[in-house]
Structure 1
Amino acid sequence: MADLSCSDFCGLGMHQSRVWTYAFVFATFLCWSSLRAGAQNPNITNPAEGVWLPYVLTRKVYQLCKIAVTALRAIKSSLVDPNKNLSNWNRGDPCTANWTGVFCYNTTLDDGYLHVQQLRLLNMNLSGSLSPELGRLSYMKILLLNGNQLSGSLPEKLGYLPNLDRLQIDENQISGSIPISFANLNKTRHFHMNNNSISGQIPPELSRLPRLIHFLLDNNNLSGYLPPQFSELPSLLILQLDNNNFEGTTIPDSYSDMSKLLKLSLRNCSLQGPIPDLSRIPNLAYIDLSSNRLNGSLPQGTLSDNITTINLSNNTLTGTIPGNFSDLPNLQRLSIANNSLNGSIPATLWENRKLNGTERLIMEMQNNNLTNITGSTVLPQNVTVWLRGNPVCSNGNLVNFCGTESDDENDSHISTNSTANCPNQACPPAYEYIPVACFCAAPLIVDIRLKSPAFTDFRPYESTFEQYLTSGIKLDLDQLDITSFVWENGPRLRISLKLFPVYVDNANNSHTFNGTEVKRIMNMFASWAIPDSGLFGPYELLDFILLDPYKDVVASSSKSGLGKGALAGIILGTIAGAVTLSAIVSLLILRKHLKDRHAISRRRRTTKSSIKIEGVKDFTFREMAAATDNFNSSAQVGQGGYGNVYKGILADGTIVAIKRAQEGSLQGEKEFLTEIELLSPLHHRNLVSLVGYCDEEGEQMLVYEFMSNGTLRDHLSARSKEPLGFAMRLRIAQGSAKGILYLHTEANPPIFHRDIKATNILLDSKFIAKVADFGLSRLAPVPDFEGTLPAHVSTVVKGTPGYLDPEYFLTHKLTDKSDVYSLGVVFLELLTGMQPISHGKNIVREVNIAFQSGMIFSVIDGRMGSYPSECVEKFLSLALRCCKEETDARPSMAEVVRELENIWFMMPESDSRTSESVTSTSGGKVVTLPPSSNAARHPYVSIDVSGSDLVSGVVPTITPR
């Protein structure tokens, strides 16, 4: 009964007046005791911020336990919490009962109360809206709500938090405008509101903020103009507004006066006019003004020596390349492609560049009117220059400049430490060699993301970052190992770290951190106690993993110290609660009994017995372990947010793929059941077949047919050893579309997939495309009582960035055209080999720009060899129609399949790949088609003639080999 509160008496019915008399008396005593204890104990939450206040109890039973609507409870009531992360927000005092995400501290005011200073509710799958009651947490310094699904507008009262330092609401669905009241946040340094649907004009009044250093509002729906007054912000380091719509406005000249600015990123903002004089910004390191309609010349003044990145591509800039671009010692990337630049290319851009093994320079100048190179055409090591689409490339001797561009090799990196000469596997589990010696220690594993770094290539700055981080968290350099880093959409940089206990040669070294040190390091990351860095920008903590030696630290850190006053309050409350319990125990038992019966019935509805389906086998955990050699790492063939995928061999010799959900994974029981229930009755050659499942011993696994050729994305990567030809890509597109068409029209009831992407299209041994992963799928709408069929399903937005239908994202209305959009993105991947989003570039926009400028073949993947241009154009046009922003402008899936078939039969018979006939054996029959037939034209196809009749016109099935 430690968690019993006044509200527990509410809603128990109007039975037994004597019981309620006792309840009334002792409830009053309980609340009085708690209030008295609170008055004697300074370590409770300020009542205005969230503590429960006793109200006068009336004679009416239903008003027995009315309590004040406090700030934190009001905040919780405005949220939808499907994972029950906030289930302990009804227990005791917020600050002393360890409410999830609530962090309290005493203040210098010493007013006798703890105050809520941090609210960390990030990545909790919360939806709902932001409560105006947030404005009552007047001591709040850090407000983290990022990575959820919150919607609605920004409350005006947020602008009245006088101590707020950091506001992070990025990666939600917040809409509406930015309140002018935010101009009152005089102590705020960080505005992270990117990846939402915030609209309207940026209030010029925000220029009054004296401490603002990071202003991140990229990927929203902002409009109007860029406030010229922002040049008055005295501390601003990063201005990042990419992918908004400031239609027809210019970049204010006053932005040249931003004396402390390090990064200016205004990519794809519909800006026009000239580029201001950026040479007046003394420390500017990163400029991205790409994909606008800027005109005039390139910056002529001498830019800062700190410049690492200049991206002015996809504009209408004219004139020549200024010579001062040759004098930028730290330049990593110069991108001026897709403009109207002319004249000569000065070889001084790359001459005399002496780059070490980690430094790299990339210059992208494609699709301009550049005519020649003045100077040496010999490129130094680690320098890459792309000139394809310029007149200069008519010179056949410039292959190094004019060839097909390859993928950026800086996408990811895995580091190795210096312990290669140590004995193998000499450390026990959870321990490993520290980076500088063969000494076993248990590391702390930390994942962080740099949200707006001021560089393009991390490798030259890796040692600088190590020094910055270790000095910030007060560790030695030898205690840090950067295990890997990878660029993500944004561009943002994810870094995986390991922190080791201190090691001193010939000294008594510890194999683990002590508990105090673990808590100190964890708190420094979580509370942004590490000093800010302009070069590396703001970071976010993604994960802090404590291995077995540190598990007890977590348990101990969750216990709060209690003063005498708090202890007295607990004793009094416990006595009152015990007496009260004796009065109402029968009612509580009855309620618990009913609740348990409900829980049992609910569990019974979701047990294995209720999902047994004919043709889908219920495997035991032992069978799964035997099939994978006890889930040996050598059997692992993939990994996702849900867990790992293993190649398994069943007892009968069948090869299968086993998807094993890890505890706490994104998959969850709902997705597990959804996949079984939706996929089990579906049977189509272009859908991955579900063989069975395992649901025992706390494990959830799905068993599928094994697809030996992996995912489509694997074969589109630059690392693929055997690139797909156009004919094969077209057949993969057909197979994928047919599988989805089956879901939309023939499945009963129809299904919207909701997560179509290149990694969810698998290829079997014959390269037959099969659509996979139905964990996010939804049943299509069914007619209502009047027979009216709704046009959409209203649902929380889920899916993968880059593939999401924009209209679905904005309206939450899922339709069959949402799948059409996602498949259209896959088609663009097939044609270009590009990722949906890479280094901030969106594939739909990039291909549209090339299409509208008449340069569509400049984006076609050169690795697929020769191709019929007319067929490619029609395929590209179809893909772009699938990716129209307006739902009604997209074709239906039936139209997509029909048009793909038309393109297939347009393939020219004179193709050089048609010299051989195609022979296939099926059911003892051998069919040879002449070279003139459409099927025989493609050596990458096999023909299944079973059940077909060439004479009567029943066409055999043609599939990729």
Structure 2
Amino acid sequence: MFARIQPYLLVIFIQVLVVAAITNPQDFAALQSLKSGWENAPPNWVGTDPCGSGWDGIGCSNSRVVSITLASVGLSGQVPGDIADLSELLTLDLSYNEGLTGSLPRPIGNLAKLTSLILVGCGFSGQIPDTIGSMKQLYTLSLNSNKFIGPIPHSIGALPRLHWLDLADNKLSGSIPVSNGTAPGLDMLVQTQHFHFGKNQLSGEIPSQLFSGNMSLIHLLLENNQLTGKIPSTVGLIQTLEVLRLDRNSLSGPVPQNLSKLTSVQELFLSNNNLNGPLPDLTGMTSLNYLDMSNNTFNASDFPPWISTLPSLTTLVMENTNLRGGVPETLFSLAQLQSVILKNNRINGTLSLGSSYSNELQLVDLQNNTVESYTDRAGGYGSIQIILVDNPICQGETQSYCIPPRQANSSYTTPSNCSRPQCRSDQVSSPNCQCAYPYTGTLFFRAPSFSYLGNLSTFLALQQRLMFTFQSHQLPVDSVSLSNPSKNLDDYLTLSLEVFPSGLGYFNRTGISAIGFALSNQTFKPPPFFGPFFYRANGYQYFTGDLSSSNKSSSSTAIIIGAAVGGSVLLLLLLVAGGYAFRQKRRAEIAAKHIDPFASWDRSKNNGGVPQLKGARNFSFEEVKKYTKNFSEANDIGSGGYGKVYRGTLPTGQLVAVKRAQQGSTQGALEFKTEIELLSRVHHRNVVGLVGFCFDQGEEMLVYEFIPNGTLKDSLSGKSGIRLDWMRRLRIALGAARGIQYLHVLANPPIIHRDIKSNNVLLDERLNAKVADFGLSKPMGSPDRTHVTTQVKGTMGYMDPEYYMTQQLTEKSDVYSFGVLLLELITARAPIEKGKYIVREVKLAMDKTKDLYNLQELIDPVIVSSVAPGSLEKFVDLALDCVAEEGVNRPTMSEVVKEIESIMELAGLNPHTESASTSDNYDGARKGDEHPYSDDSLFVYSGAYPHSKLEPK
């Protein structure tokens, strides 16, 4: 009898499980459709509850699927149109699955909330559906390295939030679409920073309408297409541009002279076209690292003198450009010069590198010219490779420079500090000398700023940055190895990458997909001198948990299992029913909390009224706990009087910093409410963004955008490993000033920060300055706009003495603090150091009749060689105006911004470019694990002014 009842009980049991599933039924059905259309779907895609049972690659929020990240897991098949039913989907990354083929379904455009569509290195074909233009929230669109054909859809121009557009390495054809009155075009993407269209079959002219002065483009990559016509002069309007690749097309006509106005461009590739006319004068391109104008038909010309004035030049490639005459010695004295390649020209006379040639110089290649003699004034150029083959000087000579060179690729491999063991044939020894199965692939850097591939520190910096990215995202990575750097036929730098697992020597699918996502989503930011990159993964066949089990089982085993199941089913029914009831209650509580997220706001703790928010997201405690890996020690990145700061990763892949108040403490409650209210209202590129907050289960947490390069204080002290020359400090000063100006003038209501200091100015990945930490800030209401009476708060050394004496807070108090910050930028000294106050020290030492105002002993030695004449003196004048004793004598922040812009123009910089140059020299990886959101100052002051705290402890 029991055997007859058992099947019915199982049916009831399964039905109860379906009812109890927390995954939205529509989302579950869509995932089932994906699973049925794919081979090699993850083996744990079983059951009816993807969210509750943790299907590999599936991220959920409140029962809805919000992310699918399945990079490098061996998927094959097609993407069905049912994917459009995942209406809450934010991220879709299926990269590095070459078996995914066919066209993208048109219904994919119905994913209205999608922010990231990443399909790098798959086998998709057909046309890119124009329905993509319906994804108005799309931020990242990466379809590179597939087999897409046909035109670029006009509709992509209708994506207002698009930041990253990569369509490279496909078979796209037709012209570049621009708006025409009836259809949008790429000229409308003024917020997009990346146009990556290389290695396609695009044809026609580059539309002049495509570019304008209000665009934010950083990378314009059009190499290796079939483009014709002239280079439009409108390219010279994009002041933010840093990489420009137009090589390997059929462009003709002269190079627009206004390209010299692109002062932020670091890599310029114009080679292998039909360009003619005179060689362009690029004198103004002071940031230029890499210049290649080879294989064009320019007019015959002597060696251009302006090339020797480019201070940042590392690589000059001008093969077959009709150069004649001699090469000046001054060229070789450029401090960063590594390679000079001038093959197949008419260079003659005597080649001499001079006695002050660059310490970085590695290659001088003048093959097939008419050089008649060679002078070695320095008495031996050491490791520099000189190539003079097929010049008159080499007729009958056997000198080393007359021997045809061999292909010179670097044999670099990441070194290990131990004796690598003998591993089995299918395993590899890691740099930490562990035998494992690594995840492998190739990194392609599309425009590196260097050409010497033998520099050990260059690749060590890349390795360290890779490990920092993997560790900061809590990925199961033990170590990484880089090897075999070389230049391919596209002039890309290629590097073999091996990523080694921690633990048992294998990756599982979750680990592989997370690593692939970090590389496909551009979460990994290489050192700036490597430039834009993409990654191609090899297949991974060593997943843990993939042991095949036999499908055969004995009848006796089946009977035992059947009896066990039947005997347990009644108990399971009770447990499931109870669990379902509890879950329904919990879901109701969550729903109520989201309807009124401040229902539990506790006014008894002097928190004030419920915060008035504009856009900040309310996170539950469980969500933040999940994003920070249960507030793990590895994610602990700083602490201060407020509490601790943790790194976290949202389901979208966004990196955040979570500022968690000390448990059970009321300290900082008002500051918590203040920051929520103020930051939710301010939106400016020079003000740190508030993602959300958590006020749940007695916790007070603020969730910020993560700013990767730390505080200005860390960079000035050398702690961050970032070297700030004078030009970069000017840009940082301008960015911080604009952020404060926004708070004073444009925020609604206006805001006085009250704690401007170098520890509260953060630097993003491009060294943009962002003003942070609004815990002490005060909003100014209209009736009380000019004076705010308040308890004195601030940081010693930066505090306005007038504010301290009168307790009257105005915007001019922030101006005073900013003036101290300007002096800190000049000296790299703390405001109060060994009992000496920087404002007083500058005033005592200053003598306007002398060079640099006689401040040489106080100026940071790092900037001395890069200071433009007159700019530092004006900067000091501005700083001292800001720290005038009476607020009425200080400038407004609007006036400060204008003066810094004027100083930048005096120094030869364009103040309207969006960010600092990304060719910044990093002297090493970031040191330590402190994070910019931690308030670790020892001088935070509230109340009386204790003299005992004037010096650091």
Q: Report if TM-score (shorter chain) is over 0.5.
A: no
Q: How does the TM-score come out when normalised to structure 1?
A: 0.43
Q: How does the TM-score come out when normalised to structure 2?
A: 0.44
